[in-house]
Amino acid sequence: MDIVSLIAKPGALDAALVDSLRNAWGGGVVVWLSEGEAAEFALLAAPSNFDAVRADIANQVDLNLLPAEGRRKTMLLADMDSTMIEQECIDELAEEAGVGPHVKAITARAMNGELDFEGALTERVALLKGLPETVIAKVLAERITPMPGGRTLVATMTRAGGHAALVSGGFTAFTEQVAARIGFAEHRANTLLAEAGHLTGEVARPILGREAKVTALEEITARLGIAESDVIAVGDGANDLGMLDRAGMGVALHAKPSVQERCALRVNHGDLTALLFLQGYSRAEFAA
């Protein structure tokens, strides 16, 4: 048994569209998880034209197909930059250093998988050399904003007994604060090196990238005594693909094109609460 999930911006999900798809595919009763925002119905088998229909309505609705069994996960594994927050921290630091456009261009290419992540990170961090450490607090206070729905996602899964881990190719100076603000139980990231109150332009080794995120998935699930199938992972960049492939549910959130191509589950219209809808939570079940 499969579940067809439809998610749109609040008020933008047309009931007529939902009913039309259900009727065309011979689905079960439509369940509205949030009126005008999220609905689903069961199917005995995946429709042969699913990909074509998904492409046809992609500009208005996130259409996903997922197994009915084991939908509610006991662990959230999340990327930080452009996933749990709306910015890329290194790009914001670069703005303060006066090299914003150059660094943003490298970041975009790295996240789309066009550049080696470790090499791209090393190159960008080198451009931050001499920046005062105090600029990190300034960026956190003035430039960093949480992605909508993140606190609700973490709070709802935590209340249900889940564990939330933040894993980033960014920096611990940011993940520590972001994890605390949003409610994550733990975080992992790279360490920016500093000397005499200024960034040295280097990052501590080993660098946490794609494989380190997979390692985090393996180590944390082993410690908790749960299976990788019990994990829902979310990210937007090429360095997230390893954990998205391995997790029981891997979600590409507002992701780069190369990432969306590789992920069966995609969210482009919903916010982070879409991860709750994909697990079958109704809005009435969300933690405040």
* CA–CA distances in Å: residue 171 to residues 31, 47, 89, 224: 41, 43, 8, 25
| Closest CA relative to residue 99, chosen from 150, 259, 107 | 107
Question: CA angle, corner 253, sides to 248 and 257, nearest 5?
Answer: 105
- Between CA 139 and CA 81 the distance in angstroms is 13
Residue with tokens 């048994």: 1
Question: The pTM is what?
Answer: 0.95
Determine whether 81 is exposed, middle or buried from the number of CB atoms within 10 Å of its CB (0-12, 13-18, 19+). buried
CB 83 within 8 A of CB 253: yes
Residue 206 is classified by DSSP as S
Mean pLDDT over 178-185 rounds to 98
Identify the H or E element spanning 169: strand 163-171
Annotated catalytic residue within 81, 236, 240, 271: 81
- Catalytic entry in 2, 62, 79, 271: 79
What is the structure's pLDDT at 97? Answer: 87
CA–CA gap between residue 228 and residue 218 (Å, rounded)? 7
Phi, psi of 31 (to 5 degrees): -110, 120
Q: Are the C-beta atoms of residues 125 and 203 closer than 8 Å to each other?
A: yes
Concerning whether 2 is annotated as a catalytic residue, the answer is no
- CA angle 239–231–30, rounded 5-degree value: 110
* Rounded CA separation 146/166 (Å): 13
Backbone Cα Rg of the chain: 20
> Known catalytic residue: 62?
no
Among 110, 182, 180, 121, CA closest to 147:
182
- Model pLDDT for residues 8-57, shown as the tens digit of each residue: 999 999 999 999 999 999 999 999 999 999 999 999 999 999 999 999 99
Q: What would the pLDDT profile of 92-149 be if each residue is shown by its tens digit?
A: 999 998 999 999 999 888 888 888 888 899 999 999 999 999 999 999 999 999 999 9
Token output for 245: 């492939």
Whether 251 contacts 232, CB under 8 Å: yes
Predicted confidence (pLDDT) per residue in 49-88, tens digit? 999 999 999 999 999 999 999 999 999 999 999 999 999 9
